[in-house]
Amino acid sequence: MNNIAFNIALPLLAAFLLPVIHNGSAKASRLVGPFVLLAMCWFAAAYFIFIEHPVALALGGFLPPLGISFHLDQLSLLMAVIIPLMLLLLWPYTNREGFREEALLLLLAGASSGMALSGDLFNIYVFYELLSVASFGLAASTHNGAAFAATFRYLVISGLGTVLALTGIGLIYTQTGTLNLAHIGQLAAQLDNNVGLAAFALIVLGIGVKAEIFPVNGWVPEVYATAKPRISALLAGLISKLAVLAIVRLLVVAYADTDALSLLLVLGILGIIWGELSAWRAKDLKRMFAFSSIGQLGMVLVAFSIPGEAGMFAGLAMMLHHLLVKPALFMLTENWSGSISSLTGAARQSPLGAALFILFALSLIGVPPFPGFWAKLIMVTGLVGADDSLYLLALGILLTATVIEANYLIRCAIQLYAPADENSSQSAKHGRLTLSISSALGVVLIISLFSITPLGNKLYQIAAEASNRSLYINTTLSNAQVPALRKIQ
């Protein structure tokens, strides 16, 4: 019995029942979450490995485009595997605060999986909403005034964003009369007008609030600075990528050859400039990473705006790399929270933490032979290949931003190794859990460094499949899998 719908059903079921289980036995309730996440991993991985894809799965037994369908290709299944893995890694194992946070995390897992898998625009919107609400709760879970204030800003802008996104979806529905992505793709010609593009802009900026797209990311620095490192890691690493992917799916099926690309490109360029410049003068590590992740997301956006397969390849490479590196860096802020100057000499107290910091910083900058370099190389060749002056401008900005990034990251690294002075924080030692999470991600980074050839080939294959518009449309509209609808007497 294997069905990818379990990846939505199980975490939601567990979250609904968690309060009840908790009232019965608090100990048992602590086991539920990890168990469900493991099961999700298994379902997605099994689908990835054993079942032929790409395939569309009709939910409720209604064939698309009437019913909602899940689009299962390598990309969405890959994300469906990564989501529970990431949550398992960042699960609050030592948290004694209660079941509510765990319930929210499970809901987040279900919503993320839904966003990754769904092939229906409105369904994506619903899961996006679910994801947003869960993330508000998690962001505020630090229980202090600053976190509440930051979350409130986040909530307001996010709410405004969802309204805009909904308007955009509405506009698309008025133009095409359908909500299924594949069906929209088939009718894409009706969207290549100013109403269609306006709808895209509304959706990009609406969903872009989570994707940290400039300029709708004003919430990012404060929320990441006040939330728990685990939560920041989750938001910056995973959630932002899902929002980007939703935009990219829409882009590929309906807006591949339009002005929509230049909108993404311009927003991406501005994001790089603003993010990296702000990070340069950030006062503490959390804000620095927050700004840097804005810059990185800008790079991802620029990469995706390259037309064709090259763009998908570059975008996925940058995205997956950031997904791996940023959570690890955020985890390291756990006990390195004060101003950067108080980190002087922290390497002596936490040598492994400092070494991991350097490893991830180097990969983030894109120093060969670390994976970040290959991602950047793919992106750079893609930008030159796009053969357009705006893309060359983006190339220049990307490279300059890398210099700035190298500057502030290495400045921190050197500070960590400097001899301690009177500013130094006395307790810059990392907890064992934090270190093992970061190390686990570091090990993944090192492994991917040594298996870069097969990884690159696989990623190219995934990108080729994900950027194939007619394949997407045919998979859903011609070959959707639905168990024979039982004719009822």
The region of 84-92, 131-139, 239-247, 429-437 touching another protein under the rule CB under 8 A is 131-139
Residues 279 and 405 sit within 8 Å (Cβ to Cβ) = yes
The distance of closest approach from Cβ of residue 346 to another protein in the complex, given in angstroms and rounded to an integer, is: 15
Residues 142 and 226 sit within 8 Å (Cβ to Cβ) = yes
Strand partners, 55: 72
Q: Which of 34, 137, 307, 308 binds another protein (CB under 8 A)?
A: 137
* Exposure class string for 346-371: b at 16+ Cβ within 10 A, else e: bbbbbeebbbbbbbbbbbbbbeeebb
Q: Cβ closer to another protein: 63 or 440?
A: 63
The distance of closest approach from Cβ of residue 458 to another protein in the complex, given in angstroms and rounded to an integer, is: 11
Q: Cβ closer to another protein: 411 or 443?
A: 411
DSSP 8-class letter at 238: I
The distance of closest approach from Cβ of residue 473 to another protein in the complex, given in angstroms and rounded to an integer, is: 15
| Binding to another protein, residues 299-338 (CB under 8 A) | none
At what angle are helices 145-176 and 194-207 packed, to 10 degrees? 160
Q: Cβ closer to another protein: 157 or 440?
A: 157
Q: Which of 236, 282, 316, 319 binds another protein (CB under 8 A)?
A: 282
Q: Cβ closer to another protein: 418 or 440?
A: 418
Q: Which of 418, 440, 444, 464 binds another protein (CB under 8 A)?
A: 418
Give the integer Cα–Cα distance in Å for 293 and 279: 9
Give the integer Cα–Cα distance in Å for 230 and 110: 18
Q: Cβ closer to another protein: 39 or 440?
A: 39
Q: Cβ closer to another protein: 17 or 256?
A: 17
Q: How many residues bind another protein (CB under 8 A)?
A: 138
Q: Cβ closer to another protein: 402 or 432?
A: 402
Indicate whether 60 belongs to the interface with another protein (CB under 8 A): yes
Give the integer Cα–Cα distance in Å for 42 and 240: 24
Residues 266 and 393 sit within 8 Å (Cβ to Cβ) = no
The one-letter code for the residue type at 276 is: E
Q: Which of 27, 96, 143, 432 binds another protein (CB under 8 A)?
A: 143
The distance of closest approach from Cβ of residue 182 to another protein in the complex, given in angstroms and rounded to an integer, is: 13
Tokens at 310, concatenated: 């090259």
Which bin fits 212, alpha (ψ -120 to 50), beta or left (φ > 0)? left
Q: Cβ closer to another protein: 300 or 397?
A: 397
What string of DSSP letters covers 216-237? S-TTHHHHHHHS-HHHHHHIII
Q: Cβ closer to another protein: 132 or 333?
A: 132
The distance of closest approach from Cβ of residue 469 to another protein in the complex, given in angstroms and rounded to an integer, is: 19
| Binding to another protein, residues 6-35 (CB under 8 A) | 6, 8-9, 12-13, 15-20, 23
Q: Within a 13 Å sphere around the CA of 42, how many CA atoms are in the beta-carbon half?
A: 10
Indicate whether 400 belongs to the interface with another protein (CB under 8 A): yes
Q: Cβ closer to another protein: 171 or 248?
A: 171
Indicate whether 436 belongs to the interface with another protein (CB under 8 A): no
Contacts of 285 (CB under 8 A, 6+ apart): 332, 333, 336, 337, 340, 343, 412
Closest CA to 359 of 380, 329, 398: 329
Indicate whether 37 belongs to the interface with another protein (CB under 8 A): no
| Binding to another protein, residues 167-226 (CB under 8 A) | 167, 171, 173-180, 183, 190, 194-195, 197-198, 200-202, 204-205, 209, 215-219, 221
Indicate whether 268 belongs to the interface with another protein (CB under 8 A): no
* Binding characters for another protein, 440-479, by CB under 8 A (x = yes): ------------xx--xx--x-------------------
Tokens at 322, concatenated: 């950031």
Tokens at 68, concatenated: 């909602």
Tokens at 487, concatenated: 């004719």
Closest CA to 210 of 242, 232, 234: 242
Strands (E), 111-178: none
Give the integer Cα–Cα distance in Å for 345 and 147: 29
Tokens at 45, concatenated: 């991985």
| Binding to another protein, residues 336-395 (CB under 8 A) | 362, 365, 367-369, 373-374, 376-378, 380-381, 383-385, 387, 395
Closest CA to 18 of 40, 5, 7, 33: 33
Closest CA to 101 of 183, 51, 30, 156: 30
The region of 43-51, 298-306, 407-415, 461-469 touching another protein under the rule CB under 8 A is 407-415
The distance of closest approach from Cβ of residue 329 to another protein in the complex, given in angstroms and rounded to an integer, is: 18
Q: Cβ closer to another protein: 267 or 428?
A: 267
| Binding to another protein, residues 63-122 (CB under 8 A) | 65-68, 98, 100-101, 103-104, 107, 110-111, 114, 122
Strands (E), 314-397: none
Q: Cβ closer to another protein: 133 or 436?
A: 133
